[in-house]
Amino acid sequence: MNTTGSSQYIIDVSEATFTADVIDRSHDVPVVVDFWAGWCGPCKALGPLLERLAEEANGAWILAKVDVDANPQLAAAFGIQGIPAVRAFKGGREIAEFTGALPEPNVREWLTQLGPSQADIAYDEGVALEAEGQFDAAAERYRRALAEAPAHTEAAAALNRVELAQRASGLDRSDLEQRAGAGDIDAILDLADLEAQSRDFAAAFGRLVDALRQTKGDDRERIRQRLVALLDVPPPDDPRVSAARRAMASALF
């Protein structure tokens, strides 16, 4: 119960280490302090939840655990009257707290007060770099965001958008049209990129769906993958996206 093991994101804190491990460290990363005790029933529910969320956060914040029986002066200093009690520190000061074993959705909502995650920070940096036309650097930030949080949908869409801009840069449409007419798969993919980059999504999607119907094997899979990537570039509620998804399904099956 409530053992930190070898995790770098979960630490045991005592009266002797609190200042260094919580107050000082909170200048670099938010620190969530869990005041608990072995005899406390609700602590047995909240403690593992906080530990799991700390691991999931992957360093966006640190969980510091304080056994109130072993550290009564700390508990008294922070006015702990009931446990589990949770306090959050950022920039050297306490910024939020709650008492009791809250359900997971409530705990997640409470954690939003800690500020942006590392994934969100990388994503925001990518947006700024993309706006400046620094596509290589923006793509690197978006990939970093996805490495931190694979389900970061905004970063995934942004990466598709930037990779499209990179692929479309410098392409010659007239040359591509000649090659595509002869069935050149690379030219078909490049033309679809040019059309998507110019926001002519209906043409891009239609071109790739038609190519799906006429190809098989590895070429067909390449076309499918490019179509899936381009479908993430417009807003998800764009009617051209839903229409293309239906057409793709029809072409494939």
* pTM beyond 0.85, yes or no: no
- Mean confidence (pLDDT) of the chain: 92
Helical pair 153-168 and 118-131, crossing angle rounded to 10 deg: 30
Pick the catalytic residue: 13, 43, 68, 227? 43
Q: Using CA of residue 88, residue 16, residue 74, residue 55, what is the dihedral sign?
A: positive
Domain annotation covers residue 195:
yes
Beta-sheet pairing, 93-99 with 62-67: unpaired
Q: Are residues 134 and 149 in the same domain?
A: yes
Run of H or E residues at 116: none
Residue 35 domain boundaries: 10-114
pLDDT digits (tens, 9 = 90+) for 77-105: 999 999 999 999 998 999 999 999 999 99
Q: Are residues 205 and 124 in the same domain?
A: no
Q: Are residues 30 and 74 in the same domain?
A: yes
Domain annotation covers residue 240:
yes
The answer to whether 59 and 118 have CB atoms below 8 angstroms apart is yes
The answer, yes or no, to whether residue 110 has pLDDT greater than 70, is yes
Q: Are residues 161 and 82 in the same domain?
A: no
Domain annotation covers residue 59:
yes
User: Catalytic site residue 117?
Assistant: no
The answer to whether 109 and 97 have CB atoms below 8 angstroms apart is no
Q: Are residues 83 and 104 in the same domain?
A: yes
Residue 253 or residue 158, greater confidence: 158
Q: Are residues 152 and 219 in the same domain?
A: no
Q: 48, 80, 114: which is the final residue of a domain?
A: 114
Longest alpha-carbon distance in the chain: 80
The answer, yes or no, to whether residue 108 has pLDDT greater than 70, is yes
Pick the catalytic residue: 32, 33, 40, 176? 40
Q: What are the C-alpha distances in Å from 8 to residues 12, 64, 139?
A: 11, 11, 28
Q: Are residues 152 and 232 in the same domain?
A: no
Domain annotation covers residue 89:
yes
Domain with residue 194: its CATH number is 1.25.40
Domain annotation covers residue 3:
no
CB-count burial class (<10 Å; 0-12, 13-18, 19+) for 250? exposed
User: Catalytic site residue 43?
Assistant: yes
Q: Are residues 99 and 55 in the same domain?
A: yes
pLDDT digits (tens, 9 = 90+) for 15-41: 999 999 999 999 888 999 999 999 999
Domain annotation covers residue 2:
no
Q: How many domains does the chain have?
A: 3
Q: Are residues 138 and 210 in the same domain?
A: no
Domain with residue 89: its CATH number is 3.40.30.10
Q: Are residues 99 and 178 in the same domain?
A: no
